[in-house]
Structure formats: structure tokens, C-alpha cells
Amino acid sequence: MLKGAAFAVSGIAIPILSGEASASTASGQRRNDKHDAVTAGAGVAQADTRFGKVAGYIRDEIFAFKGLPYGDTTGGANRFMPPRPAKPWAGVRSSRSYGPVAPQDKGTGRLNDEEAFLFQWNDSYEGEDCLRVNVWTPGIADGAKRPVMVWLHGGGFAAGSGNDLPAFDGHNLAKRGDVVVVTLNHRLNLLGFLDLSAHGDAYAHSGNVGMLDIVAALEWVRDNIANFGGDPNCVTIFGQSGGGAKVSTLMGMPSAKGLFHRAIVQSGSFRLSNTQERSRKLGDLILKELGVSGNDLTRLQTIPYAELRRASETVLARENKPMGPVIDMRRMASNLGFGPVLDGDVLPASPFGPDAPEMTADVPMLIGTTLNEFASGINHPEYEAMTMAELGERLKGMFGDRAETVLATFRKRTPDISPFDLWSRIASARVRMGAVEQATSKAALNRAPAYLYWFTWQTRVLDGRPRAFHCAEIPFVFANAEICEHMTGGGPRAAALEAKVAGAWIAFARTGNPNHRGIPEWRPYAPATQPTMLLDDTCRLANHIDSEELASLG
């Protein structure tokens, strides 16, 4: 009812909005009166971009701009083409609500009531005019040169958006750190990564247009962010899961060089790159499934996305092997559906090792994972009753003759935890291994430092069954522990961790070093000692915290 009423009076003053303000910024923009929750209206929160003027709103002293176009529509003749600049507009463009998200499959997580409760997804609306950025800033055109933090969402390369979780709201992070926060949408799945390069120069980059979208967004930041109070020479890219993999991929893209100056990879140290041979094979199989000839690719411009998706799902179901009970992030490329393509041009070589990309050797990195990336008690609550004998049988199926060694090694450090907790840690260890390997290859360059973390804080929500689950750190990074209380539980315990984690991310964005007064000294990663910051109620730096366990996995 309230949502309908708000829509019906859009553009008309209502009690929560005020077109008047008693204070002004250095740039003459009107701020909201301290008694108003939100200010929006004529002359409020206006900024210039290279495409035209935009109007956002002010909430609690933070300027917010949403749905700003950084590129033209990706539909029709622009499908599978590199991003084109947004079309300029006249007048002032209202930019107060999120724009379209990339067409996608929403995934099965929303069918699990407890998982949906934790995450509180916001699906928004889909459309191919999806190249949009959202900006939160403490000031506009004030010459402050604040650090800029550009968030890349997760969902692999197939799903998600810059606003699909409440945790991604940049207001609190911008206010806590006096930073500019940017989130964005880009093309996903086959619309972003269908490789048609075997069928002519026009489609040479089709397998990487989703990543080229992100480069275009970073170019938008470079060209416009000073008007939003940000410093284009102090840009941090950060992302989680698939977003972390996008950060890693950008580290190896020549077109992205110089567009960012720090990089944070959260649970995203995967090898998610397709070979050109495999990606072209998938492209041709999908064309065959659609009944489209390689000589008539213009037909793809008018086929509905739902039909494209059905064809791709059919092909991937046929071509991909089951992932198995433990995901090995170091070997995921062999089973990848859509993702970046090693085409020798946009992505010349794998950015995931064994050698770190030389072109970004001077970019400091912050890398880490959570303790329970996989096998949380939400997806399989029946596993909570797992016995040691059942765990042993599972491990035999995974590790064969090494199963007993793996189990004994993991139990040695934590002898009193349950069989299911052991299973969860073993199932998650490959993700941690990917982070360690990425930090090791970065350190080998002996240029910019890498800092390694392990998020071990466990939520008490849902009887604590989610544990330190995949995505658990995100609300703390964004200083949103309270608004994401479904995840964190809220309250003083979550607030205390938020100060430590958000403080570290902000410090890193500002200086390339995550140290701040709220945590112990955090030393750069060195292979000889493998220092890892454990992010928990009590944070501590530990050397070789799980070296034996990781070595036992082989």
C-alpha cells in the first residue's frame, strides 16, 4: 500500500521529502535539514557527468545517485558488441532509483526459505539497457579527492547486480570512511560471454564484453568521479565470489591498466577463464541449438533472451560435468559455462597464476576467504547430525587413500569440533588454498604488498547453523551490520566487528595498507610465514594457521 502510494505521488512533495534546506555545501548544493530523513527536489544533489547533468538525493548527509548510465543499451544491434558510450541527454536526469539489472537466471537459493531470510535479495527488474552505476558520496564537486571504492557483485559471471543485496548499499561505508562508493551492473551469462569470434572480426571480443563493460564503468569513474567528490587517482576495486574473480581478471586486462590502484579479492581467487577453443565450441553448440547459422548472426539481435537462455542451459547441461562434493577453485575453468575468455587480446593470459600479472605488479592487494565457504548448515541441515563414520566415508569418496591423512590433519588443530564442522572446513579449504596461492604469486613479484585474511566470525542467527558462510563478511565490509541483521544478528557484537572490518577496508582504500587502530598489526603476506589476519570477535594475526591442512589436500 505504501509502495503504491509513493509511486502515485512521484515528483510531488510528501512528508518524508523536502525541497528546502538550511545548509549548503561548498559547491552550493543544498543539504537536507538535520530534521529531515531525505531531501530530494529541484536544485538538490545535482552533479555533472560527461553525458549530462544528474539529480540524486541526500539522506543523512550522504549524496546518493542511482541508475546512472555509463554505456548505451546492450540490446538489439549492440548485442555481443563491446560497450558503446551512453547517449547524452538534455536537462537534468532524475537518478534516484536503481536502473535495470542484466537479464539472468535468479538461481535456486531463493527457493530455500532460510537462505532467502539470510540474504533478503532484491531482484529488481531486468533489461538490456543495464550499464548503470550507483554512487554514494559525502560531497559533490567540493575538491575533496576522496578515495573511491568500486564494488563488483558476485553471482559468478552469470547472475547478480550492484543492488541485489541490502548489504551493497554504499551509504554507511561512504559516511564511515569519507569515501565515494560505486556499485555497478554489467552484462552476464551468454549476453556477456558468448564467444562468436570464429564468425568474423565484428564478434572478435564477444566472449569478453561483460568484462569490457566493467572497464567502461571504470572509465566512467575516471572521467566523472571528481564531480562526485572522488579522486580518480585513488580507485580501489573490490568484489566477492564472482566479483572477486572479476577483480582478479581485471588485474590481467591491458585495457583496465591504470583505471584502479588497489584491489580486494573476497572469496574470489578462482581460475574462471575459458580457453578460446572451449569458448568457441560452446558458442557453436549454442548456435546449433538455436538453429542459427554462423553466416546469419544478425538473427541473434532479435531472439528473446528467454530463448537464448534455454539454448545455453541445454548445452551447458550436456557439456559440463558434475562439480562434485568439494569445489576446487583452482580447477573450475575446466567446468566453466560462461566467463572471461583467454583470447590473447582482451585477456592475453590467465591472471590466476602461477605467475601474478606483471602489468599490475604495483597494485596492492587484500585477499581472503571465509571459514565456511561451502557446506553450511542452511543448505543441508540434516548434515548437522553427521557421524564421524559418515564423514570418513565421504572423505574416501573425495580423497581415496589419502582420506585418513586429511581427516587426521584437520582434526589435529581442532580436535573437539563436530564431524559436520570438519566436513565444512575441508569442503571450504580449496577456496582458502586459492587465496593463499594468489597471495603467494603476488608476493613473488616483490613489488606491491598483498595482505591475507580469513573471516572466521560465526553468526548466531538461525541457531548459528550458517557459521562463517560464503558472503558473511559483506555486511561488515559495507558497514551494514545493523541493516543486515538477518545475516549478522545486529547488536553490539556485530557492531564491534564492523568497526574492525570496515576500518581495514577503508584504510586499504586510502593508503594500500589495511592497518588501523582497531586491529592488531597486519603484516604483508610472505610465503615463508604466511601471515593471515583472522577476522573475528578478537582479531589476531597468525602465521601458518592452516599450512598443514592445505598441504594434506594435495
Give the pLDDT score at 357: 83
Amino acid at 454: W
Q: Are 262 and 236 in contact (CB under 8 A)?
A: yes
Q: Are 131 and 71 in contact (CB under 8 A)?
A: yes
Domain assignment present for residue 290? The answer is no
CB 495 within 8 A of CB 481: yes
Query: Concatenated DSSP letters for 17-61?
Result: --S--SEE-TTSPEEPPTT-SEE-STTSSEEEETTEEEE-EEETT
pLDDT at position 334: 42
- Percent helix, percent strand, percent coil in the chain, to nearest 5: 40, 15, 45
| Mean pLDDT for back-to-back runs of 10 residues, the chain (554 residues) | 35 31 40 70 97 98 99 99 99 98 81 92 95 99 97 96 98 99 98 98 98 99 99 99 97 97 96 87 98 96 98 93 53 65 93 79 98 86 95 95 98 95 95 96 96 99 96 99 98 99 99 99 98 99 98 95
Decide if 338 contacts 157 (C-beta within 8 A): yes
What CA–CA distance (Å, rounded) separates 467 from 373? 9
Torsional sign, CA 530, 536, 540, 545: negative
The cell numbers describing 100, all together, are 535495470
CB 156 within 8 A of CB 339: yes
432 in Cβ contact with 546 (< 8 Å): yes
Q: Name the strand (E) or helix (H) holding 349.
A: none
Cell representation of residue 213: 563493460
Q: Per the structure block, which three cell numbers stand in for 73?
A: 543499451
Q: Is 480 exposed, middle or buried (0-12, 13-18, 19+ CB in 10 A)?
A: buried
Task: Assess contact for 151 and 168: CB atoms under 8 A.
Answer: yes
Residue 493 domain-assigned? Answer: yes
Is residue 295 in some structural domain? no
> What domain range includes position 499?
370-552
**Domains identified in the chain, total number:** 2
Quote the Cα angle for 108-420-553, to 5°: 90
Q: Is residue 421 part of a domain?
A: yes
Residue 89 located in a structural domain: no
CA distance 384 to 153: 30
Instruction: Tally the residues of the chain.
Output: 554
According to DSSP, the β-strands at 146-152 and 230-240 are parallel
Q: Are strands 341-342 and 274-275 parallel, antiparallel or unpaired?
A: parallel
435 assigned to some structural domain: yes
Longest dimension (CA), the chain: 73
Q: At 475, which CATH number?
A: 3.40.50.1820
| Dihedral sign computed on CA atoms, order 199, 156, 230, 34 | positive
**Angle value at C-alpha 338, between 335 and 340, nearest 5 degrees:** 100
Is residue 442 in a domain?
yes
The amino acid occupying position 173 is L
How is the beta sheet containing 92-94 ordered, strand by strand? 46-49, 52-55, 92-94
Tell me how far apart the alpha carbons of residues 405 and 426 are, in angstroms, rounded to a whole number: 12
Catalytic residues: 241, 373, 470
- In 402-543, DSSP assigns E strands to 450-455, 532-535, 540-542
Measured distance CA(397)–CA(551) in Å, rounded: 19
Calpha distance 244→234 (Å, rounded): 19
C-alpha cell at 7: 509511486
According to DSSP, the β-strands at 180-184 and 146-152 are parallel
In single-letter form, the type of residue at position 47 comes to: A
pLDDT of residue 16: 29
Phi and psi at residue 452, in whole multiples of 5°?
-110, 135
Between CA 398 and CA 404 the distance in angstroms is 11
Q: Are 97 and 66 in contact (CB under 8 A)?
A: yes
CB burial of residue 465 (10 Å; 0-12, 13-18, 19+):
buried
In a domain, 525, yes or no: yes
- Which phi-psi region, left, alpha or beta, contains residue 198 (left: φ > 0; alpha: ψ -120 to 50)? alpha
The predicted structure's pLDDT at residue 36: 66
Whole-angstrom CA distances from 213 to 133, 190, 201, 306 are 11, 14, 19, 22
pLDDT at 374: 87
